[in-house]
Amino acid sequence: MVNNDIKKAFQKILDFADIKINGSRPWDIQVHNPNFYSRVLTGGNLALGESYMDGWWDCKKIDQLIYRVLKAQLDKKVKGSKNLFWLFLKTHLINPQSRSRAFIVGQKHYDISNELYHYMLDKRMNYSCGYWKNAKTLDKAQEAKLDLICKKLKLKPGMTVLDIGCGWGSFAKYAAQKYKVKVLGVTISKEQAKLARKLCKGLDVEFRLQDYRDLKQKFDRIVSIGMFEHVGHKNYDEFFKVANRCLKDDGLFLLHSIATSVSTTHTDPWTEKYIFPNGMLPSAVQITKSYEKLFQLEDWHNIGVYYDPTLMAWHKNFNKAWPKLKSKFDERFFRMWNYYLLSCAGSFRARHNHVWQIVFSKPGSQVRYNSVR
């Protein structure tokens, strides 16, 4: 009787998003364990993701489910207070993205398997939002994104470029080949650095396993694509100080980052535990406060609507490649990774998160900048 009452209470909450328990529509949730309701009501987002990994529930279209949940703001109605309280303490009492902890996300996420990312991503291995404005395939969307960044940076042959958080070298390789520039890429992932060096062999490109805070060289241009999400609010000021220190007076700096509309000091607890440890999404206020007096704003472009199709393409590739990958990973990882990709797609579809490309110049710069789309 207790479980039945909790189920009814849970359904009343889901009614706000037009989601039915054991319904027939693609976004309806199929519950296999009666303890699911109390687990999620007390554990919030963390419990929702973990219970899916444990096989307690299923849904034909998780992306549609999460989209509806976020559009109806059900995440504000069901919160795991204990999880949020711990994250609040963690982000205020310690620095999760300190030098000593900076390489953790590399080890736990980016180093898990180059083979996984090879199959999941586009042919250039871009692990960030594509630019689908005029593209119909993932490869074309990622190539368009790289070219858009190069044009926004106004790259010219012979320029020196710093890539903070270079991934597997996709931008470095593209910029070196197409725009004839010299690139230094830094990453906190051993596996990324290893493969990037192999993929960019013969080009005027160098990769280092290095914390961005140790950078001291001067560059004509700086780019950071999908790395700022790992910096953390305690380090935003230092990140921009490093970028200012490394950029020549007439240079340009492009920051590409997932972001949120509301300032916070912690991330989703499930994502923190299973996908991106020590991660945090910045808000506009947090960014502007940190670059003040160090840079002047040239351009601010939101391309977040394109992350939904990017994530859905990754999900399709991952599932297509699963027969080749399952010898390395178990079924729980399969469910975890699917939940990660699809819940993120639903989040961007609901405009819960964004992707910003922001272009900066140094104070007093005489660069005449025209926005590129």
Instruction: Share the mean pLDDT of the chain.
Output: 90
Q: How confident is the model at residue 339 (pLDDT cuts 50, 70, 90)?
A: very high
- Residue 299: the pLDDT is 98
| pLDDT band for position 5 (cuts 50, 70, 90) | confident
Q: What percentage of residues in the chain have a pLDDT greater than 90? A: 77
Q: What's the pLDDT tens digit per position in 236-247?
A: 999 999 999 999
The active-site residue out of 59, 150, 246, 344 is 344
* Extents of the domains making up the chain: 2-79, 103-361
Between residues 280 and 1, the one the model is more confident about: 280
Task: Please give the Cα distance from 196 to 210 (Å, whole number).
Answer: 14
CATH superfamily, region 103-361: Vaccinia Virus protein VP39 (3.40.50.150)
Residue 94 or 144, more confident: 144
Residues 6+ positions from 151 with CB-CB distance below 8 Å? 372
Residue percentage of the chain with pLDDT more than 70: 89
Q: Which of 258, 254, 256, 306 is nearest to 282 (CA)?
A: 258
Residue 92 pLDDT: 43
Q: Is the pLDDT of residue 146 over 80?
A: yes
Phi, psi of 363 (to 5 degrees): -55, 130
Strand positions, DSSP E, the chain: 30-31, 57-58, 160-164, 182-187, 205-209, 219-225, 247-260, 296-302, 353-361
**Known catalytic membership, residue 344:** yes
Per-residue model confidence as pLDDT tens digits over 203-224: 999 999 999 999 999 999 999 9
| Listed range (109-113, 186-190, 282-286) with the worst mean pLDDT | 109-113
Could you tell me if 179 and 124 are in contact, meaning their C-beta atoms sit under 8 angstroms apart? no
Q: Which residue has the tokens 């990622």?
A: 142
Residue 145 has pLDDT above 50, yes or no: yes
Rounded-to-integer distance, Cα 304 and Cα 356, Å = 7
Q: How confident is the model at residue 252 (pLDDT cuts 50, 70, 90)?
A: very high
Least Cα distance to 122 among 132, 134, 133 occurs for 132
Q: Please determine, for residue 312, whether its predicted confidence score (pLDDT) is greater than 60.
A: yes
Helices 331-349 and 36-53, axial angle in degrees (round to 10): 110
Please tell me the predicted confidence (pLDDT) of residue 1.
40
Q: How confident is the model at residue 110 (pLDDT cuts 50, 70, 90)?
A: low
